[in-house]
Amino acid sequence: MRLAIDIATLFLLVAGCFFVFLGSFALVKLTSFFHRIHGPTKASTLGVGCILAASVLHRSIHGTGLHPRELLITVFLFLTAPVAAHLMSRAALSLMDRRPEAPSTRAEPEGHIRDDADERAEQLAREREEGLDDG
């Protein structure tokens, strides 16, 4: 039983620090604010939840017994993260001169995610029409 709890703790720790790292990596790597806000608000929250659950499990056998107090922080973070993300998005929107462009409605023909998907779709449609005219 102790071994099973230790293994579960290990798994939760590895998953937790992976997701925390992923959130911060998204913060550094992605290009615009509305891309960046997805990483920390979702991945990091999940990662911290995993680490707090690992802490509960670890304390239940190596500490003073099962006290699920850390879950209080988890619940609080899971409740507040969407509110904080919404407020930060509102703040970023209020600093822009105009509303950002609507996301692409058509799938990009080659299946890659890219910023100029709409232009490429229009260009491909034009080429197809020209091809039909020729034929």
Partner 1 sequence: MIGLLDKVIGGSMVVVGLAMLMALWRLVRGPTAPDRILALDTLYVATIAQVVLLGMLEETETYFEIALIIAMLGFFGTVVLSKYVLRRDIVE
Binding site for partner 1 (CB under 8 A): 2-3, 6, 9-10, 13-14, 16-18, 20-21, 23-25, 27-28, 33, 36-37, 40-41, 44-45, 47-48, 51-52, 54-55, 58-59, 62-64, 69-70, 72-73, 76-77, 80-81, 83-84, 87-92, 94-95
Residues 57/16, Cβ–Cβ less than 8 Å: no
Cβ nearer to partner 1, comparing 18 with 118: 18
Give min distance, CB of 112 to partner 1, in A.
26
H helix runs in 31-100, sequence order: 33-36, 38, 45-62, 70-95
Residues 84/96, Cβ–Cβ less than 8 Å: no
Cβ nearer to partner 1, comparing 82 with 109: 82
Cβ nearer to partner 1, comparing 7 with 125: 7
Cβ nearer to partner 1, comparing 52 with 117: 52
Give min distance, CB of 119 to partner 1, in A.
25
Give min distance, CB of 93 to partner 1, in A.
9
Residues 59/5, Cβ–Cβ less than 8 Å: no
H or E element that contains 124? helix 117-134
Contacts of 40 (CB under 8 A, 6+ apart): 23, 24, 26, 27
